[in-house]
Amino acid sequence: MAVLVIADHDGSSVRDTTHKTVTAALALSSDVDVLVLGSKAAADAAAKIAGVRKVLFADGADLGHGLAEAVEATVVPLAAGYDAVLSPATTDGKNFMPRIAAKLDVAPISDIIEVLSSDSFVRPIYAGNALETVQSSDAKKVITVRPTAFAAAAEGGSAPVESVASADTDKATFVSEEMVKSDRPELGAAKIVVSGGRAMGSAEEFHAVIEPLADKLGAAVGASRAAVDAGYAPNDYQVGQTGKVVAPALYIAVGISGAIQHLAGMKDSKIIVAINKDADAPIFQVADYGLVGDYKTVVPELMAALG
Amino acid sequence: MKVLVPVKRVIDYNVKARVKADQTGVDLANVKMSMNPFDEIAVEEAVRLKEGKEHHAAGTASEIVAVSIGVTQAQETIRTALAMGADRGLLIQSDKDLEPLAVAKLLKAVVDEEKPDLVLMGKQSIDGDNNAVGQMLAALLGWPQATFAGKLVVADGKATVTREVDGGLQTLAVTLPAVVTVDLRLNTPRYASLPNIMKAKKKEIAVKAVADYGVDVADRLKVVKVTEPPKRSAGIKVADAAELVANLKTAGVL
């Protein structure tokens, strides 16, 4: 059995999500190849992941931008040589993997959190309120992996890098991108996350309260949907069922009530701290440490206590 | 331009799903059901394309067809779409919950029949959380796709879509016909007014059966069991910031 992992990368190196997907792939087979789309530097970086048999590199601007039509046309011919194709459940993976599955006439298996055997997997459904164990009858499996559920594969490999044929698309064109610039750790991979909610009341307050606390802790900044919808924080900060799923060692929720959809994105965090002035807020039901109080007084006190 | 909007009847987003004791699934008996929240956003955008709201030119959409696949009661979901402004509905009746691949194949058959220029749909349903049908439909049709749309502009045979991606926003232009899946921030769906709810009762909903389409809808995934996620142990309330920091230090996370 051979497995192909489609790498997630930033144009120069592979992201941590790729390492975690390799771990899931190694649970299926020892023959794991990694496909890197559109970045030779990232392909060279992928070759250093321990346990990888070889790295395939497909070049092309459309692939570099992750355009699903080009990715599908590149991956489908390669899939003939593999029993399973995996990618992290990032927005890119979620975008192109179902397209690849449909072309191969197989049922995609989305966002797995556990590999039970070569055909059985566990995945959350209903905003993480239930776990579904599924057994696939398809000869080929197309799977996206929830990165927070797997440990990262180590560095230290030296896999050969091979070029493979690539495809372009004429039906979709990349126009532009606008990425949020941040020096803080990446939300999905951070060890500590500080998230703010609607209680912040304004973008200025969000910046003034959440960011200094995050910086003091070396944490990534997250937000509830309410805070994002109100424009206090960029979309990309959203933690939840439809935003990012995080599982840091420490998650600090400030002024977040704890709706089902938000909990879906953070309830696997090791330790959850809730700061909220409403003692009945649902967030306290999942919090390891709850502090009932106005964030306006609690956060400065917390900053002081941290020294 | 004709727009097809697939809508799904799902557990209401405010209801916490409860796993059945026999581990066969989630208990949906006597649970409030509603239109999938992302599908409401898709219907709203289709109606705006017709009305010319915000940056859309009036009449960009000439006809909006809402389609649902599911139990008889899914007609209520279609009726909601009609009350929001869709022109007519189609229900493909199915007593069992079909997998995304089967849904995509049925929708392809509907597209072949209806020949829309745009399929506008939610990025994921809040029950299965698959986030797959739109992408699969685009693949089966050989159409381009633009997923997770936070902004949509339709002009000159193209849809220009700003997508919500990890790290920020990406803008793509796709040639029509295309499949666009919508994200939360695309718009705020309207509430259907009472007069529109009354008018929607006069709009047509065609009812068909899965068998009418001659599509293979067999399950590929067997659900072995559905279980509750592990419960978190009860936490403690601390009195102040100093006590919180002391606890976090003891726990080894600071």
What tens digit of pLDDT does each residue of A256-284 get? Answer: 999 999 999 999 999 999 999 999 999 99
Q: Write out chain A residues lying below 8 Å of B16, CB-based.
A: 129, 260
To the nearest whole percent, how much of chain B has pLDDT over 70?
100
Percent over 90 (pLDDT), chain A: 98
At B53 the pLDDT is 87
Checking if the pLDDT of A156 tops 90, the result is yes
Contact A290 B238 (CB under 8 A): yes
B18: confidence class by pLDDT, cuts 50, 70, 90: very high
Cβ contacts of B167 on chain A, cutoff 8 Å: 179-180, 236
Q: Which residue has the tokens 């409403």?
A: A278
Among A133, A242, A292, whose Cβ lies nearest the Cβ of B224?
A: A133
Do the chains contact at B229 and A92, CB–CB below 8 Å? no
Mean pLDDT of chain B: 97
Q: Which of residues 238-267 of A touch B (CB under 8 A)?
A: 241-242, 244, 249-250, 260-261, 267
Question: What's the pLDDT band for B233 if we cut at 50, 70, 90?
Answer: confident
pLDDT above 90: residue A286: yes
Q: Given CB atoms, is A294 within the 8 Å cutoff of chain B?
A: no
Which 3 state secondary structure label does DSSP give B126?
coil
Tokens of A208: 């003034």
Q: What is the pLDDT of residues A62-106, one digit of tens each?
A: 999 999 999 999 999 999 999 999 999 999 999 999 999 999 999
Whether A181 shows a pLDDT value over 90: the answer reads: no
- The band of A115, judged by pLDDT with boundaries at 50, 70 and 90, is very high
pLDDT of residue B162: 98
Q: How far is B66 from B43, CA to CA, in rounded Å?
A: 8
- Would you call A175 and B254 a contact, using CB atoms and an 8 Å cutoff? no
Looking at the predicted structure, is the pLDDT value of residue B142 above 90? yes
Contact B127 A125 (CB under 8 A): yes
Tens digits of per-residue pLDDT, B92-116?
999 999 999 999 999 999 999 999 9
- Mean pLDDT within A237-251: 96
Q: Is the pLDDT of residue B182 over 90?
A: yes
Query: Which one of A74, A120, A146, A177 makes the best mutation probe of the B interface by having the most chain B beta carbons within 10 Å?
Result: A177
* Cis preceding linkage at A248, omega within 30: no
Q: Which of A91, A113, A272 to mutate to test the interface with B (most CBs of B within 10 A)?
A: A91
pLDDT band at B54 (very low <50, low <70, confident <90, very high): confident
> H/E/C letters for each residue in chain A?
CEEEEECCECCCCECHHHHHHHHHHHCCCCEEEEEEECCHHHHHHHCCECCEEEEEEECCHHHHCCCHHHHHHHHHHHHCCCCEEEEECCHHHHHHHHHHHHHCCCCEEEEECEECCCCEEEEEEHHHCEEEEEEECCCCEEEEECHHHCCCCCECCCCCEEECCCCCCCCEEEEEEEECCCCCCCCCCCCEEEEECHHHCCHHHHHHHHHHHHHHHCCEEEECHHHHHCCCCCHHHEECCCCECCCCCEEEEECCCCCHHHHCCCCCCCEEEEEECCCCCHHHHCCCEEEECCHHHHHHHHHHHHC
pLDDT for residue A176: 98
Question: Are the Cβ atoms of B168 and A178 closer than 8 angstroms?
Answer: yes
Mean pLDDT, chain A, rounded, equals 97
- Coil vs helix vs strand at B43: helix
State the pLDDT confidence band at A307, using cuts at 50, 70 and 90. Answer: confident
Contacts of B99 (CB under 8 A, 6+ apart): A107, B217, B219, B220, B221
* Per-residue pLDDT at A233 exceeds 90: yes
**What is the per-residue pLDDT for A182?**
87
Name which of A90, A96, A102 is nearest B101 (Cβ-Cβ).
A102
The answer to whether A182 contacts chain B (CB < 8 Å) is no
Q: Quote the pLDDT of residue A245.
A: 97
Q: Are A92 and A66 in contact (CB under 8 A)?
A: yes
Average pLDDT over residues A212-217: 97
Mode of pairing for the β-strands spanning B178-182 and B118-122: parallel
Do residues B230 and A142 lie in contact, with contact meaning Cβ atoms separated by under 8 Å? Answer: no
Residue to mutate among A115, A289, A303, with most B CBs inside 10 A, is A289
Q: Is it the case that residue B129 has pLDDT exceeding 90? A: yes
**Chain A residues within 8 A of B176 when measuring between CB atoms:** none
Q: What is the pLDDT of residue A274?
A: 98
d(CA A202, CA B179): 35
